Amino acid sequence: MKKIAFLVVITFVLLISGCSEDVEIEGPFIGGTDGLEISFVDGAPISQFTANSDVPIKIGLKNKGEYDLPENSVEVALYGLAMSDFSLSSDYVSVVPGILGTKKGLIGEGAQVNVDMGIINYQGSVSGEYINPTLHARVCYPYRTEAAVTACISSSEIVEGGGESVCVLGEERINSQRVSSSPIQITSFVEEVYGIDEVKFNMEVENKGFGDVYMDDFSCESLGDTIVKANKANKIHFRVIPEDVSCVSFDGIEGNEGYLKLTAGTKTLRCTMPVENTGANYQREITVFLDFEYVQSMSKLLKILQS
């Protein structure tokens, strides 16, 4: 009987321990770091062909993130070669249809489109048996990151006044389902008391993709303008709801929306919000939108034989 009683106690302790483990609260998003995926369509171009041959080029675009790309918002261009020698253009091609993203519980995979980039026809000389030029492609597109956070709201006035605690201040609020899939991510959201009657939010924003980020009004054609490019690089528009949240922009302006600037791919956005003293701390839903232009590139090695 003593052994049986001992086993029952151990089982009970294990059950209690299991119940006390942190459980990731489900959020409204699939999550991830994907945005628009870019690739050369299979066989367009083929990897090997002879000079003076007509070879089509097509770029495949698949929206693997959770933002719907509007019509005519995506641009694609070829570069990296003496384009006239290959009968190609370096002009940007606008993608007419919108490209829907994924939606949790609704759309399992985002939409995909193929973009016709013309015909490559190399009419130059081939030294030896073949040459190995590298064809590059670039895509520019607007994207948005959305985060939905349940924050714990408290102040020094509530804490020092012995107010009731209904939530724990200072815990990490971000998990994989609290931020939409996008190359720009909010990787941390933590609160702390600030002054007598305010709470501070510290949000870590990071570029988790493989491309470059620019201000949301950036134009792809400006990549050749070093002054404009430098002025727009790494700047992301933020908007925080509710509107009584006040954040500090990179230029020192305060408000619930503005611009942050990444340094080495990351930035901590600091915001404050007034706290109502109800005699206890409380929870409040915070929504964050990040808008930006994203630029990605890729390349393909070609083998062009003598004709």
* Residues 300 and 287 reside in one and the same domain: no
Report pLDDT for 176.
Answer: 87
Q: Are residues 54 and 124 in the same domain?
A: yes
Flag whether 231 is in a domain: yes
Residues 270 and 136 in one domain: no
pLDDT tens string, the chain, 307 residues long: the values are: 444 444 434 343 334 344 434 445 689 999 999 999 999 999 999 999 999 999 999 999 999 999 999 999 999 999 999 999 999 999 999 999 999 999 998 888 999 999 999 999 999 999 899 999 999 999 999 999 999 999 999 999 999 889 899 999 999 999 989 999 999 999 999 999 998 999 999 999 999 999 999 999 999 999 999 999 999 999 999 999 999 999 999 999 999 999 999 999 999 999 999 999 989 999 999 999 999 999 999 999 999 999 8
Same domain, 270 and 150: yes
pLDDT at 10: 39
pLDDT reported for residue 67: 98
**Which segments of 143-210 does DSSP mark as H helices, in order?**
156-160
Q: Are residues 134 and 147 in the same domain?
A: no
Residue 15 lies in a domain: no
Structural domains counted in the chain = 2
Task: Tell me if 106 is assigned to some domain.
Answer: yes
Specify if 22 maps to a domain: no
Structure confidence at residue 262 (pLDDT): 98
CA 207, CA 260: separation in Å to the nearest integer? 12
Confidence (pLDDT) at 127: 87
| Position 11 in a domain | no
Q: Does 192 fall in a domain?
A: yes
| Whether residues 93 and 201 fall in one domain | no
Whether residue 151 is found in the same domain as residue 291: yes
Are residue 161 and residue 291 in the same domain, yes or no? yes
Residues 6+ apart with CB under 8 A from 74: 36, 61, 94, 95, 99, 139, 140, 141
Q: For residue 28, is it within any domain?
A: no
pTM of the model as a whole:
0.90
pLDDT of residue 25: 64
Element at 152 (helix H, strand E): strand 134-153
131 lies in the same domain as 211: no
Round to whole Å and give the CA distance between 145 and 289.
Answer: 6
Range of the domain at 153: 143-295
Residue with tokens 């294990």: 14
